[in-house]
Every structure is written in structure tokens, then in C-alpha cells.
């Protein structure tokens, strides 16, 4: 029995009326494997016990998020199994990558930033205490600059190390976050967007496994994986909606630190290190911090 056959058997045990559907592996991560049926249903299988707990939490959080945001998000239904898995209707759309964004005209870029700003503003209005009671925890801490530097710096080329050292030093000198902690998405890159490339519209957001309670400025780190231009537009639109003031330099430093942290986390994995180094190099090519 192949891997997809095993997942198919588990799915049909809970949802027998889709036996005639076509199944395919959609994605794999450290926590889960996603299976798609007929391009309209998505099933997410936990790969270990800790991931199963996070899947339960994600379902509980989405039940509170869904009525509170304008953009569609998944409606997770848990199937206890065994094995435990979730199912939801797929939000139509594809990833939004850097090359895609570069081809968007001005109007589509503005609309995307406004849609994302509204989503974040609505999400941040959710009470952190209530979200914590539903299972939201603190966002993952990155660790100290000493720990990150010790792992990340040796993996970088000599040309990249001065900027990395500058980011580490600037991060150490940052004052405390000026705004109250928020419940946020903390994963707003293009791989978690369902984007309609024909209509040039964002259809929805998914994968809330990394959502949690944390510092407001960190929420605006992840859009730079799509484009720094998107981050700039998103920040401006968010300020217009909320009346809050955000520190662009702080966001830039956090963005660089996030890339270094990811590199440090995978420093012992030769398969992924080159990709993480390129990620930092891409950021350096567009970064503007003093």
C-alpha cells in the first residue's frame, strides 16, 4: 500500500461518500501532511503527538477567528480516527510568490495590501486573553543574538557577514516593543495565501499553526518573503486603518533577525542551509537599515 493509499483509506473511513474522488499529496511539513481530494477538499494529518495537539488548537482558534475577519479562512473539522486528521473545503487560489508579485499592476498591489491590512487589523482586535483561553500560546522566541550568531555567521559568505553582524547588534539595542501584545498570525508569507492570479485578488488565508500572542511589529516580518514593497504598503494601510504608528526600522531589523534565526535553526542541515543563506542574501539586497 502506497503512502497516498494509506491516507485515502483513513479519509474514506470518515468520509465514505467521496470514494470516487481523486487524491493527491498536497504538501508536507515538520508537523503534518496535507492531502487534497478533487481540488476541493483538504485533509491534514498530524505527523506526531505534539503536532496533533497543535492541530486541535488550530481548529479551536479558527472557530473564533472565522466570524471576526473579512477574508475567508479554513473551517477545520476534526476527525478523531485514528489517525487524527482535519478536513476543510479548500480556499481556491495558489501561492503568491515574489515573481508573481512583480507582475502585479499598481491597482492589484494596492488592493492586496489593503486586504491584508484589514485582515491583520481584524485579527488584532481579538482579545489575547480569550485567545489564550482557547489555546493560543506565546509565539516562538528566537533566542539570544549570541546563540543565533554562533550558528548563523559561520554559514554565511564573507560578503554577508558584516550585514548579519550589524543586524545582530541592532537587534540587541532595540528598545522594548512599544505596543501591547496582540494575538496575531505571525506567518503571513505567500505560501499561506490563496491568491487568484487571474483576478489578481486574495481569496483567503490559511495555516494558523504558528499563530499566537506576541509583539505587534513582528507581525509585519513575513510579507517581505513576497516583496519588501508589499510590506511597505501593508504597514501604511494598517496604520491608516488602526491609527497606530509602526516603526519601519524596527520591522526591518526584525525581518533580518528572522532570516538569521531560520538559518541558525537549520545550520546543521546541509540540505536546507543554502536556501536559508539565499533567503538572507535576498533580504540584504533590499534592506534599508542604519
Same domain (yes/no): 151, 282: yes
pLDDT at 209 exceeding the cut of 90: no
Instruction: Tell me, yes or no, whether 22 and 54 share the same domain.
Output: yes
> Are 111 and 254 members of one domain?
yes
Rounded Cα gap, residues 86 and 149, in angstroms:
38
Question: What is the residue whose three cell numbers read 564573507?
Answer: 158
Confidence class for position 48, pLDDT limits 50, 70, 90: confident
User: What confidence score (pLDDT) does residue 18 get?
Assistant: 93
Q: What is the pLDDT of residue 3?
A: 82
* Domain shared by 107 and 12, yes or no: no
Q: How many angstroms separate the most distant Cα atoms in the chain?
A: 59
Are 41 and 119 in a shared domain? no
Is the pLDDT at 268 greater than 90, yes or no?
no
Q: Assign 67 to helix, strand or coil.
A: helix
CB 98 within 8 A of CB 227: yes
Grid coordinates belonging to 108: 492589484
Residue with cell 506526531: 48
Assess whether 45 and 153 both reside in one domain. Answer: no
Residue 253 · residue 287 · CB < 8 Å: no
At 174, which CATH number? 3.90.1200.10
- Are residue 211 and residue 145 in the same domain, yes or no? yes
193 with 85, same domain: the answer is: no
Query: pTM of the full predicted structure?
Result: 0.92
Distances (CA, A) of 216 to 37, 81, 121, 139, 173: 37, 38, 11, 11, 18
The torsion defined by the Cα of 173, 175, 181 and 186, in degrees rounded to 10, comes to: -30
Q: What mean pLDDT comes out for the span 144-151?
A: 97
Taking the C-alpha atoms of residue 74 and residue 87, their distance in angstroms, rounded to an integer, is 9
pLDDT in tens, 105-115: 999 999 999 99
Residues 114 and 70 in one domain: no
Query: Do 114 and 252 share a domain, yes or no?
Result: yes
**The pLDDT of residue 290:** 60
Q: Give CA angle at 25 (19, 30), nearest 5°.
A: 130
How many domains does one find in the chain?
2
Residues 84 and 106 in one domain: no
Supply the range of the domain harboring residue 16: 3-89
Amino acid at each position: 500500500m502506497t503512502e497516498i493509499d494509506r491516507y485515502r483509506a483513513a479519509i474514506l473511513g470518515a468520509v465514505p461518500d467521496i470514494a470516487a474522488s481523486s487524491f493527491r499529496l498536497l504538501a508536507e511539513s515538520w508537523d503534518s501532511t496535507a492531502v487534497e481530494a478533487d481540488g476541493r477538499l483538504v485533509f491534514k494529518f498530524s505527523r506526531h503527538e505534539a503536532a496533533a495537539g497543535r492541530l486541535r488548537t488550530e481548529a479551536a482558534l479558527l472557530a473564533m477567528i472565522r466570524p471576526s475577519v473579512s477574508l475567508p479562512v479554513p473551517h477545520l473539522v476534526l476527525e478523531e480516527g485514528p489517525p487524527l486528521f482535519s478536513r476543510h473545503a479548500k480556499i481556491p487560489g495558489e501561492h503568491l510568490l515574489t515573481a508573481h508579485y512583480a507582475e502585479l499592476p499598481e491597482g492589484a498591489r494596492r488592493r492586496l495590501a489593503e486586504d491584508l491590512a484589514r485582515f491583520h487589523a481584524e485579527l488584532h482586535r481579538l482579545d489575547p486573553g480569550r485567545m489564550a483561553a482557547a489555546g493560543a500560546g506565546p509565539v516562538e522566541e528566537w533566542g539570544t543574538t549570541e546563540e543565533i550568531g554562533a550558528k548563523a555567521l559561520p554559514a554565511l559568505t564573507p560578503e554577508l557577514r558584516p550585514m548579519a553582524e550589524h543586524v545582530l547588534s541592532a537587534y540587541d539595542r532595540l528598545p522594548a516593543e512599544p505596543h501591547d501584545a496582540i494575538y496575531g498570525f505571525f506567518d503571513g508569507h505567500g505560501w499561506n495565501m490563496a491568491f487568484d492570479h487571474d483576478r489578481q485578488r486574495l481569496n483567503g488565508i490559511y495555516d494558523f499553526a504558528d499563530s499566537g500572542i506576541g509583539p505587534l511589529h513582528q507581525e509585519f516580518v513575513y510579507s517581505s518573503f513576497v516583496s519588501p514593497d508589499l510590506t511597505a504598503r501593508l504597514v501604511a494601510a494598517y496604520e491608516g486603518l488602526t491609527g497606530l504608528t509602526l516603526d519601519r526600522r524596527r520591522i526591518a531589523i526584525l525581518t533580518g533577525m528572522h532570516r538569521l534565526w531560520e538559518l541558525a535553526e537549520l545550520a546543521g542541515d546541509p540540505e536546507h542551509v543554502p536556501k536559508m543563506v539565499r533567503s538572507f542574501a535576498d533580504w540584504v539586497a533590499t534592506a534599508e537599515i542604519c
